[in-house]
Amino acid sequence: MIYTPPEGENIIRDKLQALESFINQEDYQIDPLIKLALIHYQFEAIHPFFDGNGRTGRIILLLYLKICGLIDLPALYLSSYILQNKNEYYTSLRNVTENNDWESWILYILDMIEVVSENGRNRIQKIEQLMTKMGGEIKDTLPKIYSKDLMEVLFRFPYVKRNFIESAGLGNIKTSGAYLRSLEAKGFLKSINVGKEKLYLNHKLMDILKEN
């Protein structure tokens, strides 16, 4: 059986409006994570766009978790779980439509939230440990440039530019460039050229971020 989403602008608008009302409805009898599963199924069933419905649906998941106060920042990488369990994802979606099997679908979503949250917590712990370790090493090998403010700049993004350091008030452009070259020489950063700009990669941080 091939699923055919609703067609026609008016029909799709009506269904999206109903979904919006359901999302914003305060219903304390439904656990927010259960409601999350219902919202995601309904959006994917409406399938309002020619492309990007999956990505948009995952963004809605994160926004709803934020609205409910379950997360402070949309920092859960839900796509990784769905990609690794793609067959189960589509099978569970189809079973709701064809067999009214909500239980399997809800359990899939709950498992996803649990696994991704645990992975995210472990990743944050690894980043904190790396920041502490690298901070100590920079303090020992490059004591003249070490500061807590510098470490925050190095870990704000997985890459650093000269103006990042300048904007943090740690030195002018020339000094910032010297800092970055010193950090690269000691193996803390790796530089790459992107167009006319040079980026310095925090490669150990990037390794953690790329972990599944």
Q: Global pTM?
A: 0.78
Distance separating alpha carbons of residues 154 and 37, to the nearest angstrom: 37
Model confidence band, residue 196 (pLDDT cutoffs 50, 70, 90): confident
Closest to 57 measured CA to CA, from 67, 66, 47, 65 = 47
Classified as helix, coil or strand, 160 is strand
pLDDT value at 92 more than 70: yes
Mean predicted confidence (pLDDT) in 189-207: 94
Query: How close are the terminal C-alpha atoms of the chain, in Å?
Result: 33
- pLDDT per residue as tens digits for the range 124-156: 999 999 999 999 999 999 999 999 999 999 999
140 Cβ partners below 8 Å, 6+ apart? none
Contact 5, 45 (CB under 8 A): yes
pLDDT value at 2 more than 80: no
Model confidence band, residue 1 (pLDDT cutoffs 50, 70, 90): low
The predicted structure's pLDDT at residue 35: 95
Q: Hey, where are the domains in the chain?
A: 9-121, 142-209
The predicted structure's pLDDT at residue 80: 87
Q: Encode 160-178: b = buried (16+ Cβ within 10 Å), e = exposed.
A: bbbebbbeeebbeeeebbe
Question: For the purposes of burial, counting CB atoms within 10 Å of the CB of 87, is it exposed (0-12), middle (13-18) or buried (19 or more)?
Answer: exposed
Distance separating alpha carbons of residues 11 and 17, to the nearest angstrom: 10
Averaged confidence pLDDT in the chain: 92
pLDDT value at 103 more than 90: yes
Alpha helices by DSSP H, listed for the chain, are: 9-24, 32-46, 53-67, 78-84, 86-99, 102-141, 148-156, 162-167, 173-185, 203-209
9-121 CATH: 1.10.3290.10
Looking at the domain 142-209, which fold is it?
Arc Repressor Mutant, subunit A (1.10.10)
- pLDDT per residue as tens digits for the range 5-56: 788 899 999 999 999 999 988 877 889 999 999 999 999 999 999 888 888 9
